[in-house]
Amino acid sequence: MDKNVMTKKILRTAAILGALAVGLGAFGAHGLKKQLTAEELSVFETGVRYHFYHVFALLFTGLFYIQHPSKQVSVAALCFEIGIVLFSGSLYLMTALKAGGSVGISGIGLITPIGGLFFVAGWLLLAFAVHKTLS
């Protein structure tokens, strides 16, 4: 893929996911506060926190890609994106179902660590790309 197209994709995705993180954080703080227990709200907040961490990772990855385009960097970005969807998304879904009075879908919690593995893979790929590029 063309360097400018990939850079634009990574940075645009980071910006959209960042806006989503702000909205979900506000929703958790104001919309869910009275509907969830403190423990359930903490789970939602963990999703928001990791969502934000990895939006910043995605922004850094996009900026790094401008100067050092490589397959490892673009795959690292994809891993961060998938990690946000699976890790944070599963936490959002679990708490939203509880807020709505649903007992939830059995097994949603199993998705969370898979998202975490994508986060780890993204960081390792980024570390490899930095080492390879700046050595």
- What's the pLDDT tens digit per position in 16-69? 999 999 999 999 999 888 888 899 999 999 999 999 999 999 999 999 999 999
What's the mean per-residue pLDDT of the chain?
94
pLDDT of 103: 64
Structural domain harbouring 7: 3-134
To which H or E segment does residue 46 belong?
helix 38-67
DSSP run (H or E) holding 121: helix 108-134
Secondary structure percentages of the chain, helix, strand, coil, to 5: 85, 0, 15
User: Is residue 3 a contact partner of residue 51, using CB atoms and an 8 Å limit?
Assistant: no
Chain centroid to CA 52: 7
Asked if residues 87 and 112 have their Cβ atoms less than 8 Å apart, the reply is yes
In this prediction the pTM is 0.93
pLDDT of residue 78: 98
Q: Give the model's pLDDT for residue 31.
A: 86
Dist. CA 51–CA 85, nearest whole Å: 9
Q: How many domains does the chain have?
A: 1
- pLDDT at residue number 36: 87
Distance CA 93, CA 112 (A): 11
Confidence of residue 10 (pLDDT cuts 50, 70, 90): very high
Q: Does residue 104 register a pLDDT over 70?
A: no
